[in-house]
Structure 1
Amino acid sequence: MPMPNEYQTASQQFDRFLEDAREALDLTTRNQTYTCVQGVLLVFRARLTAAEGLRFANELPAVLRAIFVKGWDISRPPEPFLTRAQMAEEVAHLRQHHNFSPVTVIEDVAKALRGYVDLKAFDAMLAALPLEAAAFWSEDAGPFEQATLDQ
């Protein structure tokens, strides 16, 4: 069996994703963009169980999947979802002296990510996670804030 295409083209796909994320975030460098993307993934991951996180990771492109799971301490219990603004603040704390995350970092990364996943499978997977998961990956803050306030 030949190597799956997702692994053969993983680096090129990640480069395209970073460019789209850079544009969505209105940043100037790949390093700034990478920090924002990594921060969003880690903030989301902190709110999932290992089983939920692996379901999520299975829908990500290969390099983003690796970033999402690297260094995960699965013995830690999930943190509660907060408001999007509070979680965007958490994103900004990753490498905080070199972090240029805008307040819209979560929705900006979500917008870019949605161009690199199978949307039908991605949304079905999110529907199987806690209610806030789908809202977190929404491209606008409205549904997330409402879902969080309803809890």
Structure 2
Amino acid sequence: MPMPQTYFHASLDFDAFLQDVRDTCMLQTHHQAYHTLRAVLHTFRAHLTTEQALEFANILPAVTRAIFVEDWVEDWQPGETPPPFPDRVALTRKVKFVRQDHNMAPDTAIADVATALRRSSVDERQLDRVLARLPEGAVDFWNPHV
């Protein structure tokens, strides 16, 4: 079996995605885009069970998937019931709280990352199928128009 393309081109694909996040969020650097992306992914993850998070991670490209599941032990306690998704304002506050002293995430970070993710990184039909199986609020989280 040949090496899957998702791994073969992982760094090139991620660099293009991160550039899209940077431009969509109107940030200045890849570093700022990385931390914004990470904050959005981890904020979303905090409202999923471990099983749900792994189901979502499975549709992400390799490097984005790695960022999504990093710090697993520190942030997740298997078996605990995650909190429900709050409204967008509260979610945005959580995104901005991640690395708060160095965070450049705009108020539109969740919608901007959702736009970039849907535009260049995932199969939207597959994303929508997975989101429909996740808790209430998951679909809205990844809706760039909310």
Same fold (TM over 0.5): yes
* Partner Cα separation in structure 2 for residue 41 and residue 31 of structure 1: 15
Is 1:108 the counterpart of 2:112? The answer is yes
1:71-126: per-residue Cα shift (whole Å, max 9, x none)? 12243431221111111111111111111111111000000000210111111111
Structure 1: stretches of 5+ with no match in the other structure: 142-151
Task: State the identity as a percent.
Answer: 47
Partner SS for 1:98: coil
CA distance in 1: counterparts of 2:105 and 2:83, whole angstroms: 21
Distance 1:35 1:68 in 2: 12
CA distance in 2, matches of 1:77, 1:41: 18
TM-score, length basis structure 1: 0.90
Give 4+ residue runs of structure 1 displaced > 3 Å after superposition: none
Partners of 1:24 and 1:16 in 2: how far apart? Answer: 12
User: Equivalent residues in 2 for 1:12-31 (5 A)?
Assistant: 12-31=12-31
**Secondary structure in structure 2 of the residue aligned to 1:82:** coil
Alpha-carbon distance, 1:70 to partner: 1.1
Higher mean C-alpha displacement, 80-89 vs 32-41: 80-89
Counterparts of 2:83 and 2:94, CA distance in 1: 12
SS of structure 1 residue aligned to 2:137: helix
Report the Cα distance in structure 1 between the residues aligned to 2:88 and 2:62, rounded to whole angstroms: 26
2:89 equivalent to 1:94: no
Q: How many residues get paired?
A: 141
The question of whether the paired residues in 1 share the 8 Å contact of 2:22 and 2:29 is answered with: yes
The aligned amino acid for 1:124 is R
Q: Shift of the alpha carbon at 1:129?
A: 0.9
Is 1:139 the counterpart of 2:144? The answer is yes
Partner residue of 1:127 out of 103, 107, 132: 132
State the distance in 1 between where 2:39 and 2:139 align. 18
- Structure 2: which 5+ runs fail to align? none
State the TM-score, normalizing by the size of structure 2. 0.93
